[in-house]
Amino acid sequence: MMKRYNPKDIEPKWQQQWSDSNLYQAVDFDKKRPKFVMLTEFPYPSGDGLHLGHVREYTLGDIIARHKRMTGHNVLYPMGWDAFGLPTENYAIKMKVPPQQVTKNNVANFQEQMVSLGLSFDWSRTVNTTDPSYYKWTQWLFLQFFKAGLAYQDEIAINWCPKCKTGLANEEVVNGKHERCDTPVEKKTLQQWVLKITDYADRLIRGLETVDYPSRIADQQINWIGRSKGAELDFKVEGHEGEYLKVFTTRPDTLWGVTFMVLAPEHPLVDIITSSAQRIDVDEYKKLTQSKTEIERQNTDREKTGVFTGAYAINPSSNEKVPIWIADYVLSGYGTGAIMAVPAHDERDFEFASKFSLPIVDVYKKDSPADNNFGGEGDVINSGMYDGMRTSDLRERIVDDLQQKGLAKERINYKLRDWIFSRQHYWGEPIPIIHCPDHGAVPVPDDQLPVVLPEVDHYEPTDTGESPLAEVSEWVNTTCPTCDKPAKRETDTMPNWAGSSWYYLRYFDANNDTAFADMEKLKYWGEVDLYLGGMEHTTLHLLYSRFWHQFFYNQGLVPTPEPYKARRGQGIVLATDGSKMSKSKGNVVNPNEIIDQGYGADAVRMSIAFLAPYDQTTPWNSEGIAGTYRFLQRYWTLVQEHIDASKVNLDDSVDQVALKRVTHKAIKRISEDLHGMNFNTAVAALMEAVNELYKQKIELPLGSPAWTETIVAFTKLLAPYAPHIAEEIWNQLGQPGSIHNSEWPVHEDKYLAEETTRMAVQVNGKFREEIVVDKSAQESEILAQAKSADKVQAHIAGKSIVREIYVPGRLVNIVVRD
RNA sequence: GCCGGAGUGGCGGAAUUGGUAUACGCGCACGACUCAAAAUCGUGUGGAGCAAUCCUUGAGGGUUCGAGUCCCUCCUCCGGCACCA
């Protein structure tokens, strides 16, 4: 009696078996096999459980990991928990449970869901960023930045989320709103810990040339870093001896076109140079600027505003006197916070000059006068001795000339800002610093790490800009490690990007308590061979962790200059109607519900692989799951029929060429698709092959050893996608061990050859008929055969043949004329 | 505005990189099995036409024996950045 395909009978059984036998554990220092580190981003274990985005990422990673194991690699495919963060904290506040407990529950739930999907993670290497034995090393690594001068404190105006009551990094602000809660951010001046990522700006760009990232990811990072090459020019301020107004410009060649200067309202020189007559206006404008939100300030449609300071600057080249204004279209955080305004050749300056009736002087004739865009190159005019030069030549010349007078230097500017690292929240790693009245900020000595997050009664953020830890006086009050006098602990915590900036390194040596990881293990595993993750992390986690890693490399802490050899970003899974899945819309698809409906994990895995190319955003097809389930069932049925037949039919005298051809064709296609990460077409190829096998069984009865051979090979091809059914069939066929440790099949060209080929025949490039030609046929024979085909005859009769094109194995094109 | 990516049946998507457009799957229709339904199996399925045939890869032009694929001019959608001097 044939057994029906029921995933519930086989999936939990094999999951248990794999776990009991530690099937997926990676081996440190394995010299026999090449190593392969396969990484998918570790999740934030939310209370909602896994969503389809996770399933896509981890399943596709799992398919690669399983395939790599079968091709003889020592595969490290780990998983962990990025568990610090606001949602847990908010839940803890609401439900009055410790976040530690919430995290524990959520982690257990996530892990259970992952196991039920048949993901082959090596659970012996799990990391949890909230575990003191893990964040001990996050703190230790932070102190390396501090000791190297790359972590510093500064009183600066930062992005502040009034809802979450915390400071934010630039990367966390999207369109003027906090990316997590969509609240418009405000500016707030606070004493902050800052990491000097700008020191690595160039290095972060250059490093991209040494790694395999898709251009959309590399370009986005380059864009974000925003390198621009120009010059810093010094303008004297009239009546203020010794004060220089420094500006950054990419177009020093337009210097003679400067008709006014603009400072950001926050610029420190403003108070010094403002004339008494203008002081009231200036102060009022500064106040007005402060009251605006980031969204208001970023709105480029807004009319330009500004006020005159009453002061004048001297153009270092023309010695002309120009008025100094302040305006909020000049940003205090970029360049020097001041610009030279060239209204003739800059759109913003033009708008400003037009509004306030300031002069506009052209300093070059544009190459294409019809083109009224600002920018571009041309022949210089109105620039004294420089007239007649090309703008592109003057650009360097004028800087050289001024440099001799000490009034200019070449300068590179970046849009990238230093990384605001302080968070005024409870649920994060305490920053391991002690503030001593005599010694300032003193690092907590290594032997006192970790600085454990103290247990508190309430986790609510405060309005004061201080974290709730500030109220835990027995924790805050300590002694200075240097002088033993009373001192206070730093009460800010780290952002949730801290733990995730180095977690992959911990997988190489997850349980080490004397170092963040052993150097020999770091050297063995090296870098991450392939890292899958979301596109939304491109200028957040991915950039941050490259920065950390590059710093570690400079410090001799890691053996490789870059963390990730190759990166791929997967597309978002949308709801069936093409909208974004969200809890508020109630259109979130829960993967475990699909499994529980009876389709099973294998069908879910195949369905998600089949959906679309991995990097493409695509809607979830809730009915598509039936297709992959049907496919698995169809294959299962074929195998069961074969097993039943093999008990009576062992006749193997029949011709097997066709069977071998189907098998080897599938091996070739599916192996190639896996290398190219074309999971969707690989699944299509599996389906096509099974359709073929169904045709073959009519000619060649099931039950023979040739069929066993075919099914063994084909089941291996299926194993990365549908690991449970593959293991079950493997077992039923009496094969030794686990299929997931078996050897991936290799195709042989000799089985692919066919005696005949189909060729298309075109007339004037238009398809007319397909002919079947003998493999050994010569060009002349094929052309003759093509011309004699009925449909072809109908189109060439009575016309003269001008040309005959013959593409071996593909087509014939007859070009005719009336 | 700048930087990426994409437009192919009713739907998700294929197309050996310039060579038979619509593979594979979903859906739909018809048939078989069934008292019936589901499941399963089989057949069909881009559009127009009885047919021969014609049309069809966002629009228009070009190169070519031949274009979904290459070039030019547009349009639309998605992602990122955005008063960055």
User: pLDDT tens for residues A77-99?
Assistant: 999 999 998 888 888 888 888 99
- Rounded average pLDDT over A110-119: 97
CA distance A386 to A627: 73
**A364 SS3 class:** strand
Tell if A176 CB is < 7 Å from nucleic strand B: no
Nucleotide nearest to A254 (CA to C1'): B85
When pLDDT is cut at 50, 70 and 90, the band that residue A652 belongs to is low
**A686 SS3 class:** helix
Tokens read off for A205: 């760009």
Chain A 506-565 residues whose Cβ is under 7 Å from strand B: 535-536, 539
Which nucleotides on strand B sit less than 7 A from a protein beta carbon? Answer: 3-5, 11-16, 19-21, 23-27, 39-42, 52-54, 65-67, 78-85
- Rounded average pLDDT over A569-598: 88
Nucleotide nearest to A228 (CA to C1'): B84
Tell if A810 CB is < 7 Å from nucleic strand B: yes
Q: Which residues contact A19 (CB under 8 A, 6 or more apart)?
A: A115, A123
The separation between CA A501 and the C-alpha centre of its own chain, rounded to angstroms, equals 13
pLDDT digits (tens, 9 = 90+) for A599-651: 999 999 999 999 999 999 999 988 889 999 999 999 999 999 999 888 876 66
What local confidence, expressed as pLDDT, does residue A508 receive? 98
Q: Which of A4-18, A257-271, A367-381, A478-492 has the lowest mean pLDDT?
A: A367-381
CB atoms within 10 A of CB A79: 23
pLDDT digits (tens, 9 = 90+) for A251-287: 999 999 999 999 999 999 999 999 999 999 999 999 9
CA atoms A377, A381, A382, A386: torsion sign: positive
What local confidence, expressed as pLDDT, does residue A302 receive? 80
Q: Which residues contact A206 (CB under 8 A, 6 or more apart)?
A: none
CB A76 within 8 A of CB A525: yes
Integer distance in angstroms from CA A743 to C1' B22? 36
- Does the pLDDT at position A710 exceed 50? yes
**A332 SS3 class:** coil
Q: Which residues contact A152 (CB under 8 A, 6 or more apart)?
A: A193, A194, A196
Helices and strands in chain A: count of H runs, count of E runs: 25, 31
CA distance A82 to A51: 16
CA distance A123 to A18: 11
CA distance A657 to A339: 77
CA atoms A479, A482, A488, A493: torsion sign: negative
What local confidence, expressed as pLDDT, does residue A654 receive? 63
For A765, phi and psi rounded to 5 degrees? Answer: 80, 0
Chain A 263-302 residues whose Cβ is under 7 Å from strand B: 264, 297-300, 302
What local confidence, expressed as pLDDT, does residue A372 receive? 58
pTM score, whole prediction: 0.94
Q: Please state, rounded to an integer, the average pLDDT across all residues of chain A.
A: 92
**A209 SS3 class:** helix
CB A631 within 8 A of CB A610: no
CB atoms within 10 A of CB A776: 8
CA distances from A685 to A651, A658, A667, A679, A681 (A): 29, 17, 9, 10, 6
pLDDT digits (tens, 9 = 90+) for A361-393: 999 988 765 555 588 888 999 999 999 999 999
Integer distance in angstroms from CA A371 to C1' B59? 27
Place of tokens 């301020």: A237
What angle do helix axes A624-646 and A600-610 make, rounded to 10 degrees? 120
Tell if A630 CB is < 7 Å from nucleic strand B: yes
CB atoms within 10 A of CB A746: 11
What local confidence, expressed as pLDDT, does residue A277 receive? 96
- Rounded average pLDDT over A142-163: 92
Tell if A803 CB is < 7 Å from nucleic strand B: yes
Tell if A793 CB is < 7 Å from nucleic strand B: no
Integer distance in angstroms from CA A767 to C1' B48? 19
What local confidence, expressed as pLDDT, does residue A228 receive? 94
What local confidence, expressed as pLDDT, does residue A1 receive? 45
CB A159 within 8 A of CB A420: yes
Class of residue A369 by CB neighbours under 10 A (exposed 0-12, middle 13-18, buried 19+): exposed
For A229, phi and psi rounded to 5 degrees? Answer: -100, 135
CA distance A85 to A42: 14
What local confidence, expressed as pLDDT, does residue A371 receive? 57
pLDDT digits (tens, 9 = 90+) for A397-440: 999 999 999 999 999 999 999 999 999 999 999 999 999 999 99
- Does the pLDDT at position A344 exceed 80? yes
- Does the pLDDT at position A117 exceed 70? yes
What local confidence, expressed as pLDDT, does residue A149 receive? 97
What angle do helix axes A723-732 and A7-20 make, rounded to 10 degrees? 90
- Rounded average pLDDT over A314-330: 96
pLDDT digits (tens, 9 = 90+) for A761-816: 999 988 998 888 888 888 889 999 998 888 888 888 888 888 999 998 889 999 98
Nucleotide nearest to A170 (CA to C1'): B81
CA distance A657 to A654: 9
Closest CA to A187 of A311, A294, A333: A294
Cα Rg, chain A, nearest whole Å: 34
Nucleotide nearest to A612 (CA to C1'): B13
- Does the pLDDT at position A468 exceed 60? yes
Closest CA to A548 of A489, A494, A509: A494
Closest CA to A498 of A195, A101, A104, A207: A195
CB A429 within 8 A of CB A135: yes
